[in-house]
Amino acid sequence: MIIRTKLSDAAWRLACLTLITMTTLLPAATTPERSAIEERHKWDLTPMYANQAAWDAHYLQVEQQVASFARRKGTLGKSAASLLAALQHRDDINVQLEKLGAYAMMRKDEDMRVPASQAASQRSQTLEVKYGEAAAWFQPELLQIPDARLRKWLQQADLKVYAHFFDDLLRSRAHILSPREEELLAMAGKATEVSSEAFSLLSNTELRWRTVKDAENRDVEITSSSYVQAMYSKDRRYRRDAFHALYGSFQEVKNTLAATLAGAMQRDWYYSKARRYDTSLARALDAENLPPGVYSNLLQAVDGRRQLLHRYVALKKKALGLTDQVHFYDLYVNLVDVSERSYTFDQARDLVLEGVKPFGPDYVAVMQKAFDSRWIDVFANQGKRSGAYNMGTYLSAPYVLLNYQGTFNDVSTLAHELGHATQSWFSRENQPPVYAGYPMFTAEVASTAAEIVFKQSFLDRTRDPKERAFLINQMLEDMRGTIFRHTQFAEFDLAAHSLAEKGEPMTAEALMKIGHDINVRYYGPEFALDPVLDVESLRIPHYYRGYYVYRYADSYCAAAAIARRIIRQEPGAREAWMKFLKTGNSRYAIDMLKVAGVDMTTPKPVEDALALFEQLLLELEQLLDRQQTAK
Ligand SMILES: [Zn+2]
């Protein structure tokens, strides 16, 4: 949900909210009440608060602390001592608020039907908003301290720690406008969000969904989430009908979708121009001080190796025994026909702890602690929030919510979330409160690296050719979905933004043509492009978040590069990894990744990830060939 960003103060470090997938949609009748679940499989939140009364008492304290922050107003530039006092006061409020909010949210997610938990969660959110309003003066006042004075103060031992914080703040000065202009920009905020809200309402509620027959001839309404389930079905007729139903629903409203998307692109360009950036991309990258290369390298490197995706599409055609071409609705189904194994949670624990051993004993020890100290809420229960997340705060252990059902995917999710938890742990153990989070650009790197190393070592220990093929297929799908697909989206994002910047018309036809051409180039000669697929680019919610999609692809490549060094036991790789985890938010994302041995200013991490794709693809081609011959 929220990851700490540069200027948002009291955001919780909640990384990676895995979206609802078919595996989390349990039939209600088989889901137990929370009381029926063994204690050892529920997280233990008592180290945070003994009970709700303790939380209530802490709430009153923090409320006073927030109220007293106003007396710092007008003191920041007076002396080094008063500046330090205000910064420390702010740090303290942030971590206390974070603790209150995290506990309330976790209690609410345990069983979302409990009104008292909902009320506590709302109270903590209200307090955060109050604090945000009460501290609105803080940043403008910091920016008014004369440079020379500030630099001199930052030499002092007790203020030195804030050097990076100020560096990050002050580099934005060139893009901060006069008070009246800032006020006008803020006033436009609600109006510029309308197209995004309209898209969300249309695509989530008001769209006319269609009904098709599933593999068992039952009626299924095809919405965005039931569509995902249908794509994994072995029944091609059902997949095809579901595909046409979903895309047909979106196509009916393509002109409205084009208008809302144009609105989002115009919004990004308006703020970029207003803040004196040359392009919307320049503004998006500057938010985290990222060099332009992180975007262009990705696009060029993936485009240069798109033949790998063509080859993978051709393999799908062969393995699925298709006599015509491969359609979009054939891309998701697993190529290996094997009945899936199930793992108990104890088995999952042993597999993950064994799998992450290459990261070294200090790392494994923290994951071990997660099991021993009950940081994990394992199983689904009535009313529990679906999906999975890690919730780490400065004043508590990093807790993990799961809805574990025993599939291999669930075991991987455990490794992924513990990857987040481990970063939260080392960050808070080694950093002062001001740097206890981590930069957004790196947020998925630690978790994905844990997941990749786990999967690779699991694969290394799997001898059965069929199971090996199944696992490799899953890893290739991870990479197709993350690297190729999100780079396609990133290409579209860039092209659509540039239409807005050049003032060219953004009609449904123009936008769909861009998406069409990208699909033709990426999927290659064995792919049959159904005309209705052209509407795809108009239905992707991430385009409303201002250059967001490329992060998925870049993070995966950075994580794959780290995983590769770790698995090969390259000298210094483990030490570099531990240093990365301990860096917290004390450096810029790009420098932090360099600490881990990954230089995202060059195309090498992307090229290496694609080399891994090729290596896995080759093995899958060979395995499937041998199975074909054995038949
Ligand atoms: Zn994640």
User: For the segment 512-565, what is each residue's pLDDT rounded down to a tens digit?
Assistant: 999 999 999 999 999 999 999 999 999 999 999 999 899 999 999 999 999 999
**How high is the pLDDT of residue 28?**
52
419 Cα: distance to centroid of ligand 1 (angstroms)? 8
299 Cα: distance to centroid of ligand 1 (angstroms)? 23
Query: What mean pLDDT is reported for the chain?
Result: 92
34 Cα: distance to centroid of ligand 1 (angstroms)? 25
| pLDDT per position as a tens digit, 563-618 | 999 999 999 999 999 999 999 999 999 999 999 999 999 999 999 999 999 999 99
405-434 per-residue burial string, b: 16 or more CB within 10 A, e: under 16: ebebebbbbbbbbbbbbbbbbbbbebbebb
| pLDDT per position as a tens digit, 226-268 | 898 899 999 999 999 999 999 999 999 999 999 999 999 999 9
Reduced to 3 states, what is the DSSP secondary structure of residue 261? helix
Q: Looking at the predicted structure, is the pLDDT value of residue 182 above 60?
A: yes
Round to whole Å and give the CA distance between 233 and 238.
7
Phi, psi of 132 (to 5 degrees): -55, -45
588 Cα: distance to centroid of ligand 1 (angstroms)? 20
312 Cα: distance to centroid of ligand 1 (angstroms)? 26
Q: Which tops the pLDDT comparison, 224 or 51?
A: 51
**How high is the pLDDT of residue 29?**
57
216 Cα: distance to centroid of ligand 1 (angstroms)? 34
* Whether 380 contacts 26, CB under 8 Å: yes
529 closest CA partner among 513, 542, 540, 544: 513
625 Cα: distance to centroid of ligand 1 (angstroms)? 35
Round to whole Å and give the CA distance between 284 and 384.
35
Catalytic annotation, residues: 417
Helix 550-567 and helix 443-460, axial crossing angle in degrees, nearest 10: 50
Q: How many residues does the chain have?
A: 631
Give the mean pLDDT of 15-41: 64
Reduced to 3 states, what is the DSSP secondary structure of residue 428? helix
443 Cα: distance to centroid of ligand 1 (angstroms)? 7
Token pair recorded at residue 366: 């923290």
Round to whole Å and give the CA distance between 187 and 407.
49
Q: Looking at the predicted structure, is the pLDDT value of residue 20 above 50?
A: no
449 Cα: distance to centroid of ligand 1 (angstroms)? 10
CA-CA distances (angstroms) from residue 81 to 138, 239, 366? 16, 66, 38
- Helix/strand/coil percent split, the chain, to 5: 65, 5, 30
Count the neighbouring beta carbons within 10 Å of the beta carbon of residue 179: 9
Q: Looking at the predicted structure, is the pLDDT value of residue 25 above 70?
A: no
Give the mean pLDDT of 367-388: 95
* Whether 243 contacts 530, CB under 8 Å: yes
Give the mean pLDDT of 437-442: 88
**How high is the pLDDT of residue 339?**
80
Residues 6+ apart with CB under 8 A from 569: 358
Task: Please give all residues whose CB falls under 5 A of ion ligand 1, grouped by chain where several chains appear.
Answer: 16, 447
Q: Looking at the predicted structure, is the pLDDT value of residue 14 above 80?
A: no
Read off the DSSP letter of residue 387.
S
DSSP string, 565-583: HHHTT-TTHHHHHHHHHHT
What are residue 400's DSSP bridge partners?
A: 376, 390
